[in-house]
Structure 1
Amino acid sequence: MSQQTYLKVPFVWEEPKPLIEVPSRLKFKAAKTLDYEVLLSVVAEVMESSIDASDRKQVMERGSREVAEQFLAESKDGFSYRDEWWQIGLSSDDRVIGFVFPVIYQNGAKNGLEEATIYYIGVLPEYRGLGFATDLLLKGTRVLQDVGIWRVFCDADVNNIPMISTFERAGYQQHSEPWQRPL
C-alpha cells in the first residue's frame, strides 16, 4: 500500500429486511433546518477529529472548514437525495449530537429499487463512545428503507474500529476483504 492509498472495509445492508426500529434516545430533524453556518461547523468539527485517513489528510492540507464546504458542495456528484433525508441527531435538550447523510447512487437501480450509501455519518467528539453512531446509522438506513432500496453499500477506514463496530452492531455485513482507496 502506497502513501497515496489507504484501506477501507466494505459493508452492505441487503434488502429485503424488516423495517428498522430506530432507538428513541435521539430526536431527529432534517439537516436543512439548521442554519448553513451551523451545519458547516458541525461537519467541520467531525471531520477535524475523524479517524478516516482521507479526512485527516484533507483537513491537514486545507483545514476542516474548507474540506467541509467542499464536501457539502459536492454531495450531488454521482448521488441523489432529498433534503429531508439528511438527518441531525439531537439530545433531549436539543444539543446536536451528530448527523447521518444517506444518498442514492445515480444509475444504481435494480428491479425498480435503488442502490444507496451513507454519504457521511458523524458524531461530535464529546459524544463519541456512547453508541450514538449506531442510532444515527439505523436512522439513515431506515430512511433508505422507506425510499426503496435493494442494497446499502458503505465502507470504513480499516483503522476506524468504532465505525466498523457500528456497521456490525447495526446489522451490516462485511462485503469483502479490505481494499485500497486513493487518499
Structure 2
Amino acid sequence: MITFRPIFVHELHAFAAVSTPTHRHQSIIDYVQEMFTKGAMRPEWCFILEREGVGIGRVAFWTLPGKDSPSDIVLLDLPWEDENGSELAELLWQHLLVTCRQMGVQQLGYVLDSPAMAPHWQDHAEQRQKILGNLGFHLQRETSRFEWKNNPGITSAPNVLPHMDERVIYRSLSEVGEIAFIDAIMRGSASTLDRQIAQERAEYGPLSQAQEIYQDLQGMSYEPDWWELAYTPDDQLIGFIIPTRSPTFATIGYIGVLPEFRGRGYVDLLLNRGLFSLVQAGESCIRTDTDLQNQPMANAFLRAGFHLFAQRSEYRFRSFG
C-alpha cells in the first residue's frame, strides 16, 4: 500500500534519507532547517511517499519568506530507476494537486540544475525532465549560473572597489522612489535578450511586467540604498542595479542598461556597484543567473570575476483547474 502524508518535525532525518545516499543527508537537513528558520519552508509543506511504511519518494514546497502559499517545488525525489517511476510520480502529483488547490496556489515552479549539487542533489536529470513534461510542466527559461566568491571580512578586493566615473551619478531607491524604479525597469527591459522577460513583456505589457518584477524583488531581503538608478550629468537615465538576498544566497536581483546606452561599458560600472554594496554588507558569496542567449551579460559577469558553475532549467505549471 502506498501512502502520502506531510512529515512531523522529528522525522526530518528520515525525510532527508529518502532516495538519498548517506553522505548527502546532512546537507539536506541543514538546508531544510535553515529554510524553516527563514520562513521559506514549513514542516507541513514537506511530504513523504511511503510503500508499506518505507519512504520511497519526497517533495517539499518553497516560497519567499512572508508569503502564505508555496511558489515552487524543491527536494523532489523518487526511485528514478524504478520501472514504475512514472506511475509513482503521477500518484505523487495527484496528491500535490489536491494540496495546492486547498492552499489556493495559482502557479508552481521547479528548477533543475546541472551538474547535481547540494542541497537539492538533482541526479537523473533526463528522468526528471521526462516526468515534468508528463505532469504538465513547461520549460520557460534556461540560464547560465554564475558565482562570485571573496574571503570573509574583505571589503576592498580590487575588482569590487567602486569605480568613480564622472559620467555617472547614482541615486538610491530612497531618493527616487518606487515609480522611478518601475519606470527604469520598464525602459531597461526593452530589447532584452532574456527570453522570459521578452515574452512576459509582450504578453502583459511593459508597465505591468515592470510592476511585477519590482514586486517580486521587493519580496527579497535588501537595503534601500543598495538599489540605485544611474544617470548622466545632464540627468538622462542610464540604467539600474538591484542587489538582493534570497533565503539561500546574495544575488544581483536585476541589472539593466537602457538600449540607447548599451555597448559603452555602463553595465560593468553598475555590476561593480552592486557587488560592492553586497560585499560591504558582509557577503562573500554572490550568485546570479542570465539567459543562455544573453551572452553580453554573461561576459559582463566574467569580467567582474564571476565564474560559471551550473546551468539551470526553469519549469512552471500554470493551471490548477
What TM-score bracket applies, with the shorter chain setting the length?
Answer: 0.7 to 0.9
Please name the residue that 2:143 is paired with.
8
Select 1:101's aligned residue among 236, 242, 245. Answer: 242
Contact 1:13-1:173 within 8 A present in 2 as well = yes
Q: Which residue of 2 aligns with 1:173?
A: 307
State the match for 2:226 in structure 1.
Answer: 85
| 1:30 is aligned to 2:172 | yes
Q: Which moved more, 1:12-21 or 1:56-65?
A: 12-21
Alpha-carbon distance between aligned partners in 2 of 1:74 and 1:156, rounded to the nearest angstrom: 17
Other structure's SS at 1:98 match: strand
Is 1:21 aligned to residue 21 of structure 2? no
**Residue 124 of structure 1: how far off its partner (Å):** 0.6
TM-score (norm 1): 0.87
Are the aligned partners of 1:32 and 1:83 in contact in 2 as well (CA < 8 Å)? yes
Q: Deviations over 1:121-143 (max 9, x none)?
A: 00011000111111100000000
Question: Judging changes above 3 Å, is the alpha-carbon distance between structure 1 residues 66 and 88 closer, same or farther for their aligned structure 2 residues?
Answer: same
1:47-86 alignment to 2 at 5 Å?
Answer: 47-77=189-219, 79-86=220-227
Aligned equivalents of 2:282, 2:265: Cα separation in 1: 26
8 Å Cα contact 1:48-1:55 kept in structure 2? no
Identify which of structures 1 and 2 has the higher relative contact order when contacts are C-alpha pairs closer than 8 Å and 6+ apart: 1
Amino acid paired to 1:97: I
Q: 1:21 to 1:150 in 2, by over 3 A?
A: closer
In 2, Cα distance between equivalents of 1:49 and 1:36: 23
Kept after mapping to 1: 8 A contact 2:190/2:258: no
> In 2, Cα distance between the equivalents of 1:9 and 1:179?
6
Query: Considering only CA atoms, is the larger Rg found in Structure 1 or Structure 2?
Result: 2
Shift of 1:29: 1.8
- Indicate the SS of the match to 1:5: strand
Instruction: Give the corresponding residue for 1:111.
Output: none
Cα distance in structure 2, aligned partners of 1:116 and 1:32: 21
Give the equivalent residue in structure 2 for 1:149: 283
Asked if the contact 1:27–1:89 (Cα under 8 Å) also holds between the matched residues in 2, the reply is yes
Q: 2:70 maps to what in 1?
A: none
Aligned-pair distance for 1:42?
Answer: 1.5
- Taking the aligned partners of 2:218 and 2:228, their CA distance within structure 1 comes to 16
Larger mean CA deviation between 28-37 and 141-150 belongs to: 28-37
Amino acid at match of 1:81: Y
Q: Which moved more, 1:20-29 or 1:140-149?
A: 20-29
Residue aligning to 2:183: 41
Counterpart Cα distance in 1 of 2:313 and 2:246: 21
Q: Secondary structure at the match of 1:50?
A: coil
- Give me the whole-angstrom Cα distance separating, in 1, the residues matched to 2:140 and 2:305: 28
Secondary structure of the 1:117 match is strand
Computed over aligned residues only, the root mean square deviation of the Cα atoms, in angstroms, reads 1.9
CA distance in structure 2 between the aligned counterparts of 1:105 and 1:38, rounded to whole angstroms: 24
| Segment of structure 1 superposing worse, 79-88 or 39-48 | 39-48
For 2:173 and 2:272, the matched residues in 1 are separated by 16
Cα deviations by residue, 1:81-113 (Å, 9 ceiling, x for unpaired): 11111011122333221110001122x3xxxxx
Q: Over residues 25-79 of structure 1, what are the superposed CA-to-partner deviations in whole Å (9 max), with x where a residue is unaligned?
A: 22222033224333222211112321101101111110110011111122233x2
Match of 1:182 in 2: 315
Say which SS state the counterpart of residue 80 (structure 1) adopts: coil
Unaligned runs of 5+ in 1: 109-114
